[in-house]
Amino acid sequence: MSHTRTSGLWTGLILSAIVLVLLLIFILQNSAPVQITFLGLSGTLPTGVALLFAAVAGLLLVAIPGGLRILQLRRAARRGARRTD
């Protein structure tokens, strides 16, 4: 059986849907309010939502510099390819 882009897309969509369902279950099961204080601001959030926000913030702390580095490397590779032509 051959692997196509469409089958890869469907596999990705199914796995994403499963992860979203698991996240929803996690948030619904961890709905007890928790006090959050950040930079002088204070409020309450459900525990699951607070942990999800923390995970997203951590993801952004890794993804943004990583994405910028990839762009930097692509630009350098293009410059190097032009010099060899």
Over residues 4-57, the pLDDT tens digits come to 888 888 898 999 999 989 988 988 898 899 998 889 989 998 988 888 888 899
Tally Cβ neighbours within 10 Å of residue 48: 19
- Please give the residue range of the domain that contains residue 58: 32-85
Same domain, 46 and 77: yes
Q: Are residues 46 and 68 in the same domain?
A: yes
> What are the Cα distances from residue 15, in Å, to 22, 75, 82?
11, 33, 40
Count of domains forming the chain: 2
37 lies in the same domain as 2: no
> How far apart (Å, rounded) are the C-alpha atoms in residues 46 and 24?
13
Give the integer Cα–Cα distance in Å for 35 and 57.
Answer: 18
Taking Cα atoms as reference points, which of 68, 66, 69 lies closest to residue 58? 66
Residue 59 is encoded by which pair of tokens?
């993801």
**Predicted pLDDT at 31:** 87
25 lies in the same domain as 49: no
On whether both 38 and 22 belong to a single domain, the answer is no
